[in-house]
Amino acid sequence: RMPVSVPAADRWQRASAAFSLSFLSLVFSITAFSSSYWCEGTRKVAKAFCSGHSKGDHCIRFNSPDANNSNAVQYIWETGDDKFVDRKFHAGIWYSCEEIINEEGEKCRSFISLTPAADRGVLWLSIVAEFLYIILLLTGVILMSVEMCYYRTAIGGLKMNAFSAVITILAGLLGMVAHMMYTTVFRMTVNLGPEDWRPHTWDYGWSYCLAWASFACCMAAAVTTINKYTKTILEFKHKRKMLERSLKIKYKFPDH
């Protein structure tokens, strides 16, 4: 078995690093795209009157000094923020979910239906860009895996390396545009969306951070791939110069 040269081992390490970063970016993007935790927050909801066996601070209690006399009902009105309860919600590209007070589970609605009509086009563009982002990432991962498995020589993997670098860069640009468009649409929905959905407080969730982490891994993979391609080209140029120099010396001082 022939020993692996230092340049070949270095190229293999760079190819492995680019593949790992691209695969991680793909996993992050699929997870973020399918989840509904891009934004999280609370919504102030007016408390209802307690009925039946309802207990706790999520409803307004009233008492009756005479249970047999329905007219003798005295309401204990609460003041200030005590009239309202904070209801947690989380929203993603596809749907928005809100917790149900005094019950288990959540009530979910399509986020597209909550978006103002003037901004739905931008949201659909964001969804299409996210789809293309995932498809290009998958294509880049496949190309990098093919390069690692079947093109062990520098010449064989050079074209494959160039294609994967271009595709990864395009994927990163599409991902950045898609994330920014969704951020704009969500902010517009907060200001102009339905009254029964507008949040009182909100912030970005773990899915949003995961989406941008996917973009960061994608760009790191692109930089690693371009660096590998450039270094391979420089190695070729260096070997060519060394070969030309050796040929000049050989013809200048021929062997007798």
Mean pLDDT is lowest, of 31-40, 41-50, 226-235, 245-254, for: 245-254
What was the pLDDT predicted at 3?
A: 44
In a domain, 173, yes or no: yes
Question: Does residue 179 belong to any structural domain of this protein?
Answer: yes
Q: What is the pLDDT of residues 18-64, one digit of tens each?
A: 889 999 999 999 999 999 899 998 887 766 656 655 555 556 555 54
Structural domain includes residue 24: yes
Of 103, 102, 105, 86, nearest in space to 50 by CA = 102
Mean pLDDT of the chain: 78
Between 149 and 21, whose confidence is greater?
A: 21
Query: What would the mean pLDDT of 91-114 be, rounded to a whole number?
Result: 85
Between 1-5, 34-38, 91-95, 153-157, the lowest mean confidence (pLDDT) is in: 1-5
Q: What angle do CA 168, 171, 173 make, to 5 degrees?
A: 115
User: pLDDT: is 62 or 140 the higher one?
Assistant: 140
Q: Which domain holds residue 128?
A: 8-36+116-240
Least confident of 4-18, 87-101, 167-181: 4-18
Predicted TM-score (pTM) of this structure? 0.75
Examine the pLDDT at 256 and tell me if it is beyond 60.
Answer: no
Least confident of 47-51, 99-103, 188-192: 47-51
Weakest mean pLDDT among 2-16, 35-49, 127-141, 143-157? 2-16
For residue 44, being part of any structural domain is answered with no
Per-residue model confidence as pLDDT tens digits over 71-84: 434 344 444 446 66
Please report whether residue 106 resides in a domain: no
Residue 186 lies in a domain: yes
Mean pLDDT of 127-133: 95
Contacts of 5 (CB under 8 A, 6+ apart): none
Residue 232 falls inside a structural domain: yes
Helix crossing, 206-252 with 154-192: angle to 10°?
A: 160
Into how many domains does the chain fold? 1
Give the residue among 190, 192, 145, 141 at the shortest CA–CA distance from 168.
141
Is the residue at 92 inside a domain?
A: no
Which CATH number do you get for residue 201?
1.20.140
